[in-house]
Structure formats: C-alpha cells, structure tokens
C-alpha cells in the first residue's frame, strides 16, 4: 500500500492542532471537494457530450455564460447548502448573494465567495480552467439570514481560500493561514491526495504573464515594466519568459510553482482591471502571501482593500515578491495611461 494521505485525512489532522475547532470548516472544505469532483467529471467529458459552448445567457457582469459556468455554479451551491455549514454564497454567476433559508444554514457561521468556473471560455479548446473560493466568518449574528456586510469583508479577514485547477491533472490547493497545501486528484481512487505540502513561491521569479494584446491600453508604469522584463541582463536572468494561458488559475498555479508574476492592470476597456476583488483576487492574494509572495493592485496590498460591492474589479499584480515590488515601483513613478 503506497503512503497516501488524502485531503480529508489531512484536514482532520490539521484540525487536531486546534483543540477548539468544531469541525465545521473541515466539513465545508469537504463539500467543496465533493463539488470539485463532480465538476471535474463533467469537464472531462467536454467535447464528447453537448456541454461545451455558450448557453445564451449573461452573468451579473453582462458576460456570456458558458454551459459549464452554470453547471459548476449549481453544483458548488448545492454542495454547500446541503452540508449546513454555510449561510450564504456570493458567486460570479449571480447578481446578488444567495442566502440559504433553512434554519440549519442560518445557524452556520461561514459565508463563501466563489468563481465556480474561471477561464470558462477555454473549455471549448481543452485548456485548463479552475474554481476559486474564499471563506469568511459571518459578521452578522448566527441564526439570522446573512447580510451584505458578511460578504463585503476585506481579504485579510479570510478564514480559508483555495482553488481547483482542472488541468492535465486536477489539483486542489488551499490555505487556512497555515501554509499552502496542494492535493492531486487520483481519478481511479476518486480521492485528492497530498502531493504538494507547504508550497512556496520563489522570491525571484522569471516568468511574466499578461495579455500583451492590450499593451497600448496599459498604464505607462506597466508598459515600462514589460520592457524591463524584456531587457537583456543575463546576470539578472532577464529577459524573463512570457507565458499567458488566459485562465487565472492556470497562470497563477504555474507561477506559484516556478516563480513569476501575473498582471491584469487597468486598461481603457476595464478602467478598474478585469478581475473581481472578492472571489478572484482576494483568495489568490491569501494563497500567494501564505506561499511567501505578494499581491497588490499596483499601489496597495489587495487584502487591505475595503470592498464596496460584490462584483468590484481591481487591477491585480500577484506572484514572486521581487516582481510585484518592481512593477509597483514603476507604477508609482508612472501611474498614468498616457
Ligand atoms: P472569467 O471569470 O469570466 O473567466 O474571466 C477571468 C479570466 C481569467 O481567468 C483570465 O486570467 C482573464 O479572464 C483573461 O482575460 P483576457 O482574455 O482579457 O486576457
Ligand atoms: Mg473568473
């Protein structure tokens, strides 16, 4: 029998380190794990059955929804409602936060914010996609329906965050503020198995990930940083390597393992950047900080931003600390677009 540790076992083991832990968070993570397996199974069938492509509707932000966006949203919501440890969920796919009405859910102390299927337009071409989640203690009284304040909390209050990457293998990576741990899915066993304990991002990265097609629309500081990445300075391992998948989870995951930076700055089309603070940037920021890296909006730490609305967008710079610091220096000096 190989020495395998499953995600379930690992969570229980970690929970024992906190004698007063009730097990609710472990159960919540178990519901996310279950939905991830169901979504993974469906994604693997894309191309075989009619599940790829657009569904003909738009989400809260007016973006075209893919069939699998809707499917993943339903599965994650249902898994969390069923286990009674979550009182409400905010999702990229829903205008408003979804409040669970059963009294057992009202008694729950957690809210979850989720991007059920990030990068979903990549499914049609068999490129990696992901799920991103962020977990908070509610601030409203237990026993009542959750309120807007429960969902609009700054990222530094997160209790846990993670992502699932549906890639050449499927992985679940999470943090509860005690390091970053990765589990690879073994489809023959139906189990997520510990494969990457205590993940750390190299401080000096050499990969930059940005949609350079938008170059003309970037602030001057970002343009100058891209030129800095491309300069020939062999002693500093420059020019850096450019890699951009167009799935945040996949780009982030590669950079976490190898060292690099992911950038989605403000552009003329997206003056506040494209990515959403609460269910894309904050969870990734929590993970990268736990791994020893940084995440900013170009000026300040992402997890210190006070959220104003559910689907708020922010410019996002995340990855190895040397790279995030450097682009910050350029943006401080050259913040404007012209
Ligand atoms: P989505 O949540 O609608 O999928 O959008 C987020 C995605 C990220 O995964 C990805 O990094 C980014 O949008 C790509 O945007 P662009 O195509 O503008 O480069
Ligand atoms: Mg997304």
63 lines ligand 1 (CB under 6 A): yes
Q: pLDDT band for position 45 (50/70/90)? A: confident
Cα–Cα distance for residue pair 151/183, rounded to 1 Å: 28
Q: How far is the CA of 274 from the centre of ligand 1 (A)?
A: 7
CA dist list (Å): 317 to 252, 273, 286: 11, 10, 13
- What is the sign, positive or negative, of the torsion defined by CA atoms of 29, 34, 39, 41? positive
Testing ligand 1's pocket by substitution, the residue of 264, 266, 316 carrying the most ligand atoms inside 8 A of its CB is 264
86 pLDDT exceeds 70? yes
Cα–Cα distance for residue pair 76/70, rounded to 1 Å: 10
Tokens 């940083």 — which residue? 225
274 lines ligand 1 (CB under 6 A): yes
Q: What is the pLDDT of residue 230?
A: 98
Instruction: Give residue-wise pLDDT tens across range 320-332.
Output: 999 999 999 999 9
Instruction: Give residue-wise pLDDT tens across range 241-292.
Output: 999 999 999 999 999 999 999 999 998 888 999 999 999 999 999 999 999 9
Q: How far is the CA of 216 from the centre of ligand 2 (A)?
A: 23
Q: What is the pLDDT of residue 51?
A: 61
Q: What is the pLDDT of residue 269?
A: 82
Q: How far is the CA of 284 from the centre of ligand 2 (A)?
A: 12
2 pLDDT exceeds 90? no
Instruction: Give residue-wise pLDDT tens across range 124-146.
Output: 888 999 999 999 999 999 999 99
Both tokens assigned to 54: 């657009």
Cα–Cα distance for residue pair 156/26, rounded to 1 Å: 20
Instruction: Give residue-wise pLDDT tens across range 156-197.
Output: 999 999 999 998 999 999 999 999 999 999 999 999 999 999
Q: What is the pLDDT of residue 139?
A: 97
Contact in structure between 82 and 68 (CB atoms under 8 Å): no
52 pLDDT exceeds 70? no
Q: How far is the CA of 117 from the centre of ligand 2 (A)?
A: 7
Protein residues placing their CB within 5 Å of the ion ligand 2:
115, 118
Testing ligand 1's pocket by substitution, the residue of 93, 242, 244, 246 carrying the most ligand atoms inside 8 A of its CB is 246
Give the mean pLDDT of 227-244: 97
pLDDT above 90 covers what percent of the chain? 78
**Nearest atom, ligand 1, residue 251 CA:** 11
| 185 is an annotated ligand-binding site residue | no
Q: How far is the CA of 311 from the centre of ligand 2 (A)?
A: 11
Contact in structure between 219 and 334 (CB atoms under 8 Å): yes
Instruction: Give residue-wise pLDDT tens across range 107-122.
Output: 999 999 999 999 988 8
| 264 is an annotated ligand-binding site residue | yes
């Amino acid at each position: 029998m190989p020495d395998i540790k499953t995600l379930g076992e690992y969570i229980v083991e970690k929970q024992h380190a906190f004698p007063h832990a009730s097990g609710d968070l472990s159960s919540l993570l178990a519901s996310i794990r279950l939905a991830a397996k169901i979504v993974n199974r469906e994604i693997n069938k894309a191309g075989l059955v009619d599940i790829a492509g657009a569904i003909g509707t738009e989400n809260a932000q007016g973006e075209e929804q893919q069939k699998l966006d809707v499917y993943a949203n339903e599965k994650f919501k249902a898994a969390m409602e069923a286990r009674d440890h979550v009182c409400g969920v905010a999702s990229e796919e829903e205008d408003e936060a979804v409040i669970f009405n059963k009294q057992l859910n009202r008694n729950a102390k957690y809210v979850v914010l989720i991007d059920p299927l990030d990068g979903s337009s990549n499914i049609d071409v068999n490129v990696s996609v992901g799920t991103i989640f962020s977990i908070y203690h509610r601030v409203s009284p237990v026993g009542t329906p959750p309120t807007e304040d429960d969902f609009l909390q700054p990222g530094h209050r997160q209790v846990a965050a993670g992502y699932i990457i549906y890639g050449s293998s499927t992985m679940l990576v999470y943090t509860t503020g005690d390091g970053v741990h990765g589990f690879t899915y073994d489809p023959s066993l139906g189990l997520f198995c510990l494969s990457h304990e205590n993940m750390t991002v190299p401080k000096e990265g050499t990969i930059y990930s940005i949609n350079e097609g938008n170059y003309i629309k970037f602030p001057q500081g970002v343009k100058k940083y891209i030129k800095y990445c491309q300069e020939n300075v062999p002693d500093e391992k420059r020019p850096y390597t450019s890699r951009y998948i167009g799935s945040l989870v996949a780009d982030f995951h590669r950079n976490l393992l190898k060292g690099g930076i992911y950038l989605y700055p403000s552009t003329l089309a997206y003056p506040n950047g494209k990515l959403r603070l609460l269910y894309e940037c904050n969870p990734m920021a929590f993970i990268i900080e736990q791994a020893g890296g940084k995440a900013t909006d170009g000026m300040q730490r992402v997890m210190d931003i006070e959220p104003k609305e559910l689907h708020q967008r922010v410019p996002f710079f995340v990855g190895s600390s040397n790279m995030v610091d450097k682009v910050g220096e350029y943006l401080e000096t050259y913040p404007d677009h012209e």
